[in-house]
Amino acid sequence: MGQTLSRRDVIGGAAASAAVLITTPLRAAAPVVHDVAIKSFAYEPAVVRVHVGDMIRWTNHDVAPHTASADEFGWDTGEIVKGGTGKITVTEDMKKSYFCAFHPHMRGSIEIL
C-alpha cells in the first residue's frame, strides 16, 4: 500500500500515456447541419464548407420549385417547393458542384474540409 514511485516510473508512465494519445485518432465532432437558402434563383451561400458526415439542408424561399442536383446527377434533393427543404449527408466521394435541374443557371459548390 505504501509503495513509492520513482521519478523514472512517473516519467515512463507519462511518456506511455502521451504515446497512446498521439497514436489514438481523435473522436470526430458531432455532425453539423449546414443551411443553404434558395432566394431569388440563387443558393446562399454559393459555397458550403463542410466535413464528411455533416448534413446540408436547402430551404426554398422562392415561389418556383428548385432542386440541388449534383453535376451528372450523382446525388439529388428532389424537387423542393416553396417553404420546403431538401437534405443530403456529405460523403467523401460525392460530387462537389451542383445546380438546379429546373434552372440550370443556378450553381453552387461544396468544399469538403
Residue 48 lies in a domain: yes
pTM: 0.74
For residue 111, the model assigns a pLDDT of 96
For residue 29, the model assigns a pLDDT of 75
**Residue 111 and residue 47 in contact, taking contact as beta carbons nearer than 8 Å:** yes
Grid cell listed for 73 = 446527377
The total of structural domains in the chain comes to 1
Residue 69 lies in a domain: yes
For residue 54, the model assigns a pLDDT of 97
**Residue 23 and residue 15 in contact, taking contact as beta carbons nearer than 8 Å:** no
Residue 82 lies in a domain: yes
Residue 12 lies in a domain: no
Residue 27 lies in a domain: no
Residue 3 lies in a domain: no
For residue 21, the model assigns a pLDDT of 47
**Rounded to an integer, what distance in angstroms lies between the CA atom of residue 56 and that of residue 49?**
10
Grid cell listed for 68 = 440541388
Backbone angles phi, psi at 79, to 5 degrees: -65, 135
- Residue-number span of the structural domain to which 99 is assigned: 33-112
Backbone angles phi, psi at 46, to 5 degrees: -75, -25
Question: Which CATH number do you get for residue 89?
Answer: 2.60.40.420
Q: Average pLDDT for consecutive 10-residue bins of the chain (113 residues)?
A: 64 58 56 97 97 97 98 92 97 94 97 94
Residue 59 lies in a domain: yes
Query: Residue 85 half-sphere exposure, CB side, CA atoms within 13 Å?
Result: 12
Residue 43 lies in a domain: yes
